Structure 1
């Protein structure tokens, strides 16, 4: 029986992992420089954490099981809910704002396709404790800067759900949620049908379709004409002014809904070419989840970057780590191990563990692209030295181990 990896999962070989770690570290560096601290939450949580946030409908999309204590457990399908749970459980009395970033794997049971996997990786950021436009603007600017550090530029679309919700204030919360999900899917026909079902007023219906179709420079002015001079408009205008200060290029798009009930105000998405239909690489917004999880009502803003999608489109060719091979003989293997350990303090070092003959050890060094080989022979050891061979030029010199380190490092 030949065992294979489960559908929707991947193996990452060393060459691919070099690229992934390179980009991951780029993102980490930006987040750290902006004053965010790294956190990590459990791979699995109680299933209620996700059904409370997203409803029972999410059960068909997640990996869930009963543990030996008969508790319903789920592999995390996303990371925002675990972060807010952690905040409520451990950090509510901490000085605000709290600024976090995280990088981890998530799991969703869905049909695998280009850019979508059942195990996928997400890099995310959260600010907890601020409802001001400055917080929203910083989060958006940070997302753009992170993508830029990975060599990725995309189209930034910014909206505000507070404006849309103001128009729907006379409709029940359960209907609002359905409307937002239809708006998020750009399903105009489905939206029209649902508005018919709930007997939505014609005036509200007309304004809704005009509002979610607003894009570009005059969108805020036109939105104000549709819903009046409400606080959400003022907040949104203040946010856009700050995005201009950050020097960001963006498009106002009041048709962004994110499809989740817990978003309350600003929402944004970033799209990139080269990914087919699944072209969104980053999305987020302002939300309130803490009260739902038993904490005090707390404003938060965050986003998630689809790391796998970034890896599909970023053109990265990080420098391969320099590696050397210590070559020995039957009577010098123990001394070679000691020398290899010294070299490993400075450079990636291989030593034969297959009992190969001298010629085959040299051949292996060629195969793995070693820059040098360090030959540990009896005569060299008697002289207190090793033979250092440059695999590119073929030049071979007799040097001390310390001299070998300096030559290899240069």
Structure 2
């Protein structure tokens, strides 16, 4: 029987995994340099963890099932809810802020298309508690550092604040459920629906103008400052605009000012409460967003004390798609990778001993135990990116030596075995 991979999933071969591991490890090194520590949550959770916040309708987008004990479970569609559950179960009494990161696969039952898969990966960070303005500036600076380190080109960082639009809607007494619909229409850029919602709820032309002017603020911190005068009679919105300005000032202290203030960023999830930001790579076309995040409160899912949190998640697969579109090459890796070749089958044991000696020194080593001809072994070494080859024949065994060949230059030298490690590490 010829089995195929399930629809919406992928196989990753050697070169692609090398790229993915490089990007993953580079991002890890950046976030750890900011003091974040890794957590891991289950791939499946109670179905109710996701439906409580998003409603029963989300079931259509989930892989959900009953286990043998009759429990309703779901493969996680994202990881933030799992982090909130983990915090509630284990970390409520821990000193704040809690700075954590995660990397793992998520699952959504949706139609596969370019940039969208049923199994996909997220690299996310969360800060629970602490000083909000500092946390918010820090994570944006950190996201920028990570993208810079992995050499993504021409990305754009857009920053907004949901408190501004929420303040306007509260000022004119829009009910919370209608506010959610209005914010969702802004998030989807469905301005025809937005106008209908405002009209149906008797919003005056004055406030329609304020809302339309608000969502058209797309520029610098100076543009935000200029718009603040429009909000002088809406205290909640004015305060949110001030807070956003303070975040941006702090972000500039972190050494980053190449951002766009975009007050139309709404984020579709209604648990966001303040800062929101998104990062785009225009080269990806319609699926250009690679990151989204902001400040939220998920603890209302539980009977737990509310605590403000800030976080974001990289769409890891879209980052890798950007690698392809932008033809980004991995940095040259000159760490020694060694293929040990016994010239004759009877020298396999000597080859194993040499390879084990290299591995104890953390040098990557493989052995030809199949007995291929030397020419085929050298071709294999080239194909699999071994930069050194060790050959062991009769004379080498008799002299307690090895022949070491550099695959780049073609130079080779016969040296005593006790000089091998030093020579390889030169």
TM interval, short-chain normalised: over 0.9
Distance 1:54 1:224, change over 3 A: farther
Distance 2:381 2:25 in 1: 29
Counterpart for residue 341 of structure 2: 327
Q: Which runs of 5+ in 2 are unaligned?
A: none
CA, structure 1 residues 50+378, in 2 after alignment: closer, same or farther (shift >3 Å)?
Answer: same
Q: Which residue of 2 aligns with 1:154?
A: 155
Q: For 2:228 and 2:113, how far apart are their aligned partners in 1?
A: 37
Shift of 1:204: 3.5
Q: Report what 1:12 is aligned to.
A: 12
Q: 1:228 aligned to 224, 229, 234, which one? A: 234
Counterpart check, 1:237 vs 2:251: no
In 1: Cα distance, 2:85 partner to 2:186 partner: 28
Equivalent residue for 1:293, pick from 288, 302, 310? 302
- 2:352 is matched with 337
Cα distance change, pair 360–68 in 1 and its aligned pair in 2 (3 A): same
- Where do residues 128-207 of structure 1 align in structure 2 (5 Å cutoff)? 128-130=128-130, 132-152=132-152, 153-169=154-170, 170-207=173-210
Query: Structure 1 stretch 286-295 or stretch 240-249: which is displaced more?
Result: 240-249
Determine the structure 2 residue equivalent to 1:272.
281
Normalising by the residue count of structure 1, what TM-score does the alignment of the two structures yield?
Answer: 0.93
- Distance verdict in 2 for CA 1:58–1:311, change over 3 Å: same
Cα 1:236–1:351 change in 2 (3 A) is: same
> Structure 2 vs 1, CA of residues 322 and 166 (structure 1 numbering), >3 Å: closer, same or farther?
same
Shift of 1:255: 0.6
Distance 1:222 1:391 in 2: 63
Tell me which residue corresponds to 1:30. 30
Whether contact under 8 Å (2:284, 2:322) holds in the other structure is yes
**Deviating more after overlay: 73-82 vs 354-363:** 354-363
8 Å contact kept, 1:331–1:378: no
CA deviation after TM superposition for structure 1 residue 343, in Å: 2.0
Change over 3 Å in CA distance of 1:395–1:161 after alignment to 2: closer
Deviation (angstroms), 1:341: 1.2
Distance 2:405 2:150 in 1: 37
CA separation of 1:380/1:33 partners in 2, compared to 1, >3 Å: closer, same or farther?
Answer: same
**Consecutive unaligned residues in structure 1, runs of 5 or more:** none
SS at match of 1:261: coil
TM score, norm. by length of structure 2:
0.89
Q: In structure 1, how many angstroms separate the alpha carbons of the residues matched to 2:276 and 2:379? A: 57
Q: Conserved in 1, the CA contact under 8 Å of 2:53 and 2:301?
A: yes
- Higher relative contact order structure (alpha carbons within 8 Å, sequence separation ≥ 6): 1
- How is 1:98-117 mapped onto 2 (pairs within 5 angstroms)? 98-117=98-117
Residue deviations 1:144-197 (CA, integer Å, cap 9, x gap)? 122111212522211111111111121222211111111101100122233344
8 Å CA contact 2:136, 2:247 repeated in 1: yes
Cα offsets for 1:16-45 (capped at 9, x unmatched): 222211121211111111111111111111
Richer in helix (by share): 2
- Kindly indicate whether the alpha-carbon contact (under 8 Å) linking 1:100 and 1:125 is maintained by their aligned counterparts in 2: yes
Taking the aligned partners of 2:210 and 2:125, their CA distance within structure 1 comes to 34
Contact conserved, 2:125 with 2:312, CA < 8 A, in 1? yes
Secondary structure of residue in 2 paired with 1:8: coil
**Alignment partners' CA distance in 1, 2:329 and 2:410:** 30
